[in-house]
Structures are given as structure tokens and as C-alpha cells.
Amino acid sequence: MNKTTAWILLIALGAILLSASFCAPYYLSDDGNTFFKNFATHELLSVLGVIVTITLASAANLHLALNKLQDEIDDDFTEARAAIRLSSHALIAAFVLAGVLVMAKPTAVPTQTVTALFNSGVVLLLVFSVAVLWDLTAAVFDIPPLKDLKARQDEKGK
């Protein structure tokens, strides 16, 4: 899946959750959905903490692999490094935003619509974090073998 499709799906999910939060808030609120009542707490931060840990480890491995490839061929992988950096920073920002949501939810006006909006934000942050994990993991597996990169470089040089 390319990044445009992923963003379109994330925006569509956001629109669906936003619509549901206003049109049928009971299903996304703590009153109607005990899963959200129990999950949109420190449990969310635990799950996202695992995702952040795994993803940042994958990003670090990807960065180290690019360093090794850079030593072998004449390419600095500027675009790839920028994408890794952006993904890592976005994931950390999502984790911080989840922390804010978890801390702000108990102090918010306790209407079904407001809690449905908070829970919708939780779903979006979770889906976004998994998408970043998926993207960086796919990037790790898409690194071609060094001999293929050298062959491509030789073809460009001819």
C-alpha cells in the first residue's frame, strides 16, 4: 500500500469516526462501549509504548543498514533517511498526543459526544501508529541485497 492510499484511508476512517461521534455517540462513548472505557486509559499508553518501542528499533536497524550500504556504494540515501526520521518523529508525537488524550479525557465534559470524540481520537492514533510500524517494517524488508545495489550502480555507470 502506498502512502497516498494510507492517508486516504486514515482520513476516511477519521471522517467515519467523527460522523459516528456526532450522529450515534452512544456506540463510541464510554456509556455504550465498555471496551473504550477501559482501553482509553493507561492501557492505551501500554499498547502504544510497545508499538513505539518496536517501531523505533526497526527505524534504528534501518538507519544502520543504510549506513552499511552507504559505505559500500556511492549513495547517501537522503530521501530514505528523511522518511525514517519523519516516521519516527510522527510516532513519538502520536504517543505524546495519546498521553494528552488519556489525561484530558477524565476532565472533559462527560457527555456521550465528547467521550465518543476522545475515543475516536484513540482509534485514529492506534491505527496511525500501526500504519507507521507497518511502513517501517516493510521498508526493512524492501532493502535489496548489496550485490543488487552494486549491479544497479554498475548499470548506471555504463
Q: What total of structural domains would you count in the chain?
A: 1
**Structural contact between residues 90 and 48, judged by C-beta atoms closer than 8 angstroms:** no
What average pLDDT does range 40-49 have in this prediction? Answer: 94
**Structural contact between residues 119 and 71, judged by C-beta atoms closer than 8 angstroms:** no
**Structural contact between residues 88 and 59, judged by C-beta atoms closer than 8 angstroms:** yes
**pLDDT score for 66:** 87
The three three-digit cell numbers of residue 66, written as one number: 543504510
Please state whether 24 falls in left (phi above 0), alpha (psi between -120 and 50) or beta. beta
**pLDDT score for 116:** 94
The CA distance from 149 to 158, in Å, is: 15
**What is the overall mean pLDDT for the chain?**
89
**Segments forming the whole domain that contains residue 81:** 3-157
The CA distance from 41 to 105, in Å, is: 9
3-class secondary structure, 88: helix
**Would the pTM of this model clear 0.75, i.e. be above it?**
yes
Of 44-48, 95-99, 111-115, 133-137, the range with the lowest mean pLDDT is 133-137
**pLDDT score for 27:** 94
**pLDDT score for 157:** 65
pLDDT (tens digit per residue) in 70-123? 888 877 888 888 999 999 999 999 999 999 999 999 888 889 999 999 999 999
Amino acid at 93: A
Q: What are phi and psi of 142, to 5 degrees?
A: -90, -5
Of 8-17, 60-69, 109-118, the range with the lowest mean pLDDT is 60-69
What average pLDDT does range 63-72 have in this prediction? Answer: 85
